[in-house]
Chains A and B, each alone.
Chain A
C-alpha cells in the first residue's frame, strides 16, 4: 500500500493549475485588471515623473491587492458547488496538504504573473530601473501571503451565496501589515535605500501566515460544511 499512496498536495496543485490553464481567459483577468487600473492613475493625477515617484509603489501594491481579492473567492467556491469539497472532506487525508496545494496554485496563477509584469508598470510610471528588483521581490513574496490570507476568507464565506463583500471585509484588515511592508520595500528601492529590511519583515509575515493559515483553513472548512 505504501508505494501506491500519492502526494495529495501535488494532486490538488496539478488539478487546479490544469483548471486554470483550461480557463485561461478567466485566469488572466486579475493581471489585466492590475495593468489597466494602474494605467489609469497617471491619467487621473499627473503624468509627471517626479510626482509619480512618490506614489507609484503604493499604487502598484494597492492594485495588486485588489487583483488578488478579485480571484481569491473562487479558490473554494467552485469546489463547494460541484461537491469536490465534500469528496475532499470525507477523504482519509489531512486537509492541510490539499489546501496548501490549492493556495499555491492560486499564487502561481495570480501572484506570480503580477510580480512578473510589474516592471512594465514600473516603466510606465517612470520608475528608476534599480527599483524593479525590489518591486518584483516584494510582490512575489507578498502575494503569497495575500493568497493564503485570501483563502482563509474564501473558506469562511464558502457556504454563502454572495460572499464577495463579506470576504473583502474579513480579509482587508489582515492585509494591512502585508501592504505596509510590501510597498515600503518597493518605495525604498525607488528612493535608492537598502530595501532588504522591509523585505525581511515581509518574509517573516509570510512564514507566520504560511504556518497558521492552512491549519485555520482546514478547521474552517470542516466547520462550515458540517450543516
Chain B
C-alpha cells in the first residue's frame, strides 16, 4: 500500500431508490493500468464509471487522487480525466470538427482536429452535421477525443459500441498507447480483450436471476 497510486477508491457505496448499486467497493489504479470492468447488465458498470468521473456522488466511501481527497483537488482531478459515456455528447447540428472543438478543455488548432478526424477515418466528413453521420461514425468522433485529450485517466463506458472491427483495433491500440505513456484506462465492455497488462474486475449482481441459466 506504500506505493503512490493514481486513483484509489475506498469503501465506495452508491444507493439508488433504496437499492445498493455499488456495495463497499475498493480498488486501486496505477499509472499504466488498464482496468476492464465486467459484469452482467445492471451490475453497476456505468454507475461505477460515473462515480469515478464525478458525474455521480457516492453515498459513502471516498475516492483519492494522488492520495488526495477529491474535494481537495477537484480542479486538478477534473482536468486530468476524460469520460466517454453512453451518451455521446455531440450536438446534432454541429460538424465533427466543431463538436471536438467545444468539447475540448483546451484550445485546439484546426490542424490537430483534422489530423485526429483523419486518424479515426472521418476525413471526408469534417463538414457534415453530426445528425447525418451513422451511429458508428458518431462513435468515431468521440474516439477522436481520445487523440486530442491530454487527460491522464480515461473512463470509457462501452467504447466498442457500434464500431466496426477496424475501429475496435484502433481503440485497443489507443488504449495500449495511452497505458505505455503512463496513463490509466478504466473501461467497461463485454468483449474479451487480449491486451498484456489488462486487469479484470468483476461486478457481481447476486440478486439477478442470470445464474439460473
A residues engaging B (CB < 8 A)?
A: 4-6, 11-12, 14-15, 18-19, 22-23, 78, 81-84, 86-87, 89-93, 225-227
Contacts and interface: CB of A to CB of B under 8 A. Distances in A.
A6 B94 contact: no
A82 B74 contact: no
Nearest 4 Cβ contacts at the A-B interface: A83-B87, A92-B78, A22-B93, A83-B89
Contacts of B92: 82
Contacts of A84: 89-91
17 contacts: A5-B106, A12-B102, A14-B102, A15-B98, A18-B93, A19-B93, A82-B91, A83-B85, A83-B86, A86-B83, A86-B89, A89-B55, A90-B81, A91-B78, A92-B75, A92-B105, A226-B57
Nearest to B155: A90
B54 interface: yes
Nearest to B145: A87
A18 to B, nearest CB: 7
Interface in B61-95: 74-79, 81, 83, 85-94
Most buried by B among A6, A12, A78, A93: A6
Given A6-B106, A83-B89, 16 more contacts: A6-B105, A15-B102, A23-B93, A82-B87, A82-B88, A83-B88, A86-B89, A87-B83, A89-B54, A90-B55, A90-B81, A92-B74, A92-B76, A92-B77, A92-B78, A93-B105
A227 B55 contact: no
Given A6-B107, A83-B87, A90 B98 contact: no
Given A18-B98, A226-B56, A227-B16, A90 B106 contact: no
B83 A92 contact: no
Contacts of B54: 89-90
B26 to A, nearest CB: 22
Given A19-B91, A82-B88, A226-B56, A87 B106 contact: no
Contacts of B105: 5-6, 91-93
A78 B93 CA distance: 12
Nearest to B16: A227
B129 interface: yes
A87 B78 contact: no
A87 B103 contact: yes
Nearest to B54: A90
A19 B129 CA distance: 11
A226 B81 CA distance: 18
Nearest to A23: B93
B204 interface: no
